[in-house]
Chain A
Amino acid sequence: MVTRFKNFVGLFLFVLLTVSNAQEVEPKHTPLDPLKYDAWTIEYPPYKWIVEEKIKAYRVINPDENQNIPVVGTGDKVALVVSKFQKDNIVEIWYGADGHYTILKEKQVDWILGESAEEELRKKNTYFNLDARFIFEDRTGSAAGLNYIHQKNSAALSDVQISPDLIDINLSISRDYSFIYKWGYPRMALVNNQWGGMVLGVRNQSFEIGVRMPPVFYLNTDLLSLSDGIEAKHLNGGWGSFGAIKYQSFTGEISFVSPPSSSKKDFDASINDDQFLSIMDLSLLMYTDVQITHRNNQESLISAIFQGGLYLYRVQNYKYDPSGIFIPRTNTLDGDTLSSHQETKLGLYLSLDACTKVNQKIGRPLIEAQLQLHTSYAFMTALTVNINRHIAVPIYYTYMFEELQWAPRKALHIGFRTTFDL
């Protein structure tokens, strides 16, 4: 057993300084019925600017209302709400970000936009838009917890998020897009550097895409890690890609790495002569969400989502030869012989994602928990304790059902997650 304590003084100072300047959130949401209303965000900049300019003009014309009608901020979401039964009016306009939304009611919309602008904006199918689920979110009771789980799984919790497996930074020009730097893949039970390599990319609420590359550096946010080997086993990296899409309750993820190029030792800077390498050259994950707890239960202490689907992975085993060639190998470090240099596994992916009631003051649940099972491959449980809005301590425990060359049989990671707004 090896215990590793990491020095996080610099990171803590940075976080504490940021946190001290950050403001707490008090969400003010009036939930609408999605059966009666349609809502979407304007994703086409010129149309967003129409709203922005109209609000600016209205503020100049009616300065006494400036306090209630702020300007549209850079990167704010602008969402329209239209009645499904009476489509000739915009019922509400929401603008803002991260739970801070200004809501313009129907009469204000008429006054601010004018008829012709309203008419153009109502033509949803003629410009880029995305479903605005947050309009219908109830931020109380079980619904708040379900929304929190959805957000945690599809986007950053704040402008900046540093987790044990990723950094996610909202782009200032559009909060719909985030820059991501990932080095772990907990959804495949590969925490922290066990995945090997890293991903640089972008994501928004519908998709994620990035370049997988050899590890340049890991931001190791482990406070403590325990594993059952002298040296924690992990996969090796390489050049490839990572992509994911999300559509309503469906999520699909693909990750691949091309085989190591011959005579290129610098393909993975961490490798040594005679080193055994294992590369997850392909992984596929598809699942769908099912809400377990009822959305309208105000008294519920727990919110939970079940995820079910399929996973597939393929690991290629190589040996780096001192002559500078990667040779497919069928033997292990222990001297055992494998039937093939390639390990492929296909199975069911089952996950239970739950959290306690969202604390309205900090906008986070006190405890988040996840039980994750990849049949015949791994079991993982994750428990995250939110100390406040900005700091959380995630604890991961992974257990592999069989001895693998590239992952410890059992491992425990106690990490550190911070989120804050810019």
Chain B
Amino acid sequence: MARLRLITEGIYLKQAPPLILIFFIFLSQVFSQGSEDENSLVWKIKDGNVNANTIEEYLDIYYKGLAQNPNLSGGGVQKHMQLVVEAHLSDTGISLQKLRYEDRSKNSRPALNASILDSMSIESIETLLSRKYKWTDIDPTVIDDGPITDVVNIFKERNYKHCRDVNWWSRNEIDISSNLHWVVRFKYASTAFVLEPGLPVLGYPAGLSRLLNIGVASEVVKAYLTVPWKPIYQFGGNHPIEGAWGGGYKFDTHRIGGMVGFQDISLNAKSLRRYHSPKSVVFIPKYALLYFSVTFAIDGIDKDVPTGPSSLSGRTTVWPSGSLRTRVGFKLIEYSHGEINQNGSFEEIMNSSGLSNVGVHFRAEYVTDQIRSSEEENQKRKSFILAAQINYDLDNQLGLVIESSYHPYRTIKLGLNMAYMGPKIFEWEKPDGTLDLFEWNPGFTVTPYFAVNF
């Protein structure tokens, strides 16, 4: 079972490895499959009849043996107790290693007498080993000294989907943020209504773009309508991309994700006031992104505290355990530069093309583990999310995005997003044959927000 546990926990790292290491093992992990050999099986028999019949046969032999040997051990088991089987599995079959019983009064799992087990009928042992009854796995690492609990869950799966979900839509049914990032998940269907400002994945979050995506999302896909929109508030930002009517699709699974979308500025209302810079408009007519992702489990860091009431064991958490999801992909963004004429129509001056449209995308998201022990603890949960993203275009435009949010309580979220997009140069030939250029500088923006979750 140790094997299964190792596999289910995926890549378990004591400390976050350097990014470069992540990058190199990234693709090998995307489609990799684990292989490991393990021969030990430990399980508890949950079928009352199997337990009672086996114990009865065992005790019969025990009492007969006791007459000959008054010091014979292994008689503590009672018919109502549950048995724990330790077996060895090989290619040729399975063999019994030990048989234990759970003594809840002593909170222990003593082993039954092996010599008595040897005297038991082959049919009884075969029944035990066939597992054709109700049973449950036991963690082999705690079999000797671990506590006995009613639910022994050896599949301590890191909640990678939780990590994906908080960035795809929300872990809550309702997540309404002051920066107009809204998610309303419908209770009886795995769909949600979603509002998303900007194109953050491409490096243009709310402060650096003037568009809003209104869509419907499912577990895997999103479809959205794009509309021009001015952020309610923003700090910083020099020259955002303009928004236009359009639409697109997104999808995201644990392995790959992507998006494809378009905007058509000719559909915009003929009003100059709607544009940030009518004389130098930059917008994105078409875009696509494809990425591969891998999620790592990151162990938390605790340290000893000499005094203080914060921790039961005298230790405090310096860095909480969580999941790190990394994404590497490439993108294709077409930029259009032009101006709004007196009629309110967009006149294109130049359109980017070729390799300058191609770029790479890297993103790392860290989400602290969800506490699963009790609802009460969940309510008090203090969790946080951190994300860092780099977008780099082959024409040397660099974009950085840092997103952070903190849950002081489960229903409240405080966040701070920062984004920087470097300058991009548009160069074109004028009718008289001379070259002209425009340097577009989107700049740096900071967007604090608060959100309520239900």
Contact = CB atoms under 8 A, between A and B. Distances in A.
A240 B288 contact: yes
Contacts of A134: none
A63 B223 CA distance: 49
Contact of A44 (B46, B135, B160, B332): B160
A209 B93 contact: no
A258 B334 contact: yes
A116 B155 contact: yes
A37 interface: no
Contacts of B218: 247
A256 interface: yes
A120 B256 contact: no
A3 interface: no
Interface stretch (A27-35, A45-53, A223-231): A45-53
Given A45-B33, A50-B8, A116-B152, A111 B260 contact: no
A49 B7 contact: yes
Interface stretch (A124-132, A293-301, A353-361, A381-389): A124-132
A278 B154 CA distance: 61
B153 A282 contact: no
B249 A61 contact: no
A414 interface: no
A100 to B, nearest CB: 21
Contacts of B131: 58, 61, 111-112, 114
A242 interface: yes
A209 B7 contact: no
B344 to A, nearest CB: 18
A49 B9 CA distance: 12
B135 A241 contact: no
A284 interface: yes
A379 to B, nearest CB: 26
A412 B334 CA distance: 36
A173 B31 contact: yes
A206 B129 contact: no
Interface residues of B, number: 69
Contacts of A60: 89-91, 93-94
B161 interface: yes
Interface stretch (B65-73, B313-321, B349-357, B436-444): B349-357
Interface residues of A, number: 61
B197 to A, nearest CB: 21
A46 B29 CA distance: 12
A244 to B, nearest CB: 7
A61 B33 contact: no
B234 to A, nearest CB: 29
Contacts of B264: 282
A57 B34 CA distance: 17
Given A50-B155, A111-B131, A284-B262, A43 B254 contact: yes
Contacts of B256: 177, 202
A53 B248 CA distance: 40
B281 interface: no
A258 B332 contact: yes
Contacts of A284: 247, 262
B129 A61 contact: yes
Contact of B132 (A47, A62, A244, A282): A62
B286 interface: yes
Interface string B33-75: 1100000010100100000000000000000000000000000
B137 interface: yes
Nearest to B31: A173
A232 interface: no
Nearest to B135: A114
Interface in A44-84: 44-47, 49-50, 53, 57-58, 60-63
Which of B33, B160, B164: most chain A Cβ within 10 A?
B33
Contacts of A252: 223, 249
A380 B309 CA distance: 76
Interface string A263-306: 01001000000000000011010000000000000000000000
A53 B3 contact: yes
B142 to A, nearest CB: 13
Interface string B125-150: 00001111111110000000000000
B162 A126 contact: yes
Contact of A128 (B91, B254, B288): B254
B157 A120 contact: yes
Nearest to A54: B4
A254 B249 contact: yes
Contact of A209 (B91, B251, B352): B251
A179 interface: no
Nearest to B260: A243
Among all A-B residue pairs, the 3 with the closest Cβ atoms: A243-B260, A241-B288, A261-B354
15 contacts: A43-B253, A110-B134, A112-B131, A115-B46, A116-B152, A117-B137, A127-B160, A128-B254, A173-B31, A241-B260, A243-B260, A245-B223, A245-B249, A247-B220, A250-B223
Interface of A: 43-47, 49-50, 53, 57-58, 60-63, 110-112, 114-117, 119-120, 125-130, 173-174, 177, 202, 204, 206-207, 209, 211, 239-247, 250, 252, 254, 256, 258-262, 264, 267, 281-282, 284
